[in-house]
Structure 1
């Protein structure tokens, strides 16, 4: 039986919502921030996926740390979209989700670093 991996699932689902948001932003002719958002928002899950194949604890922490940084960058782009009035698209749910990812990833990194 396959073990459930919450961060893997959540980061993948989040990437799908970011792709959908990217398409909506492109339809409103927002091309610069949307591209940055697409890169960072999909990179979170890609690095989590890489971490699942880590060859050491140090490698795992490194990949999860990159995921955490990408999540924080994604939060920044979402906040810019929210506050800049570039679009009328509501990104509050995206902000909540990315905040949850930041918390989970931070906890994973800290817990793994504390283990001996």
Structure 2
């Protein structure tokens, strides 16, 4: 591996770690009901994947565990977002049902 490739590979490792941390923070935030801002995440992932693809085949292999871990983090975030969406949907349904019942009760009182 040339010095330039080593520097590029190290930067990609650092970027992957940063993306993993950002995903973990987002997952924790979603789990606690906070909003998350994922702007720029896709660009960061595309950029690091492009860097890894450009490396010689032998230099790409060590990235496999980190990339698999990133996929696990993304799947976990997807699950957390889906759970939060289902919770909000249930709350909205309950609110809608409550409003309909209240409206029907008021009509019957007239």
TM-score range, shorter chain: 0.3 to 0.5
Structure exhibiting the larger radius of gyration computed from Cα positions? 2
Q: Which has the higher helix share?
A: 2
TM-score normalised to structure 2 length: 0.47
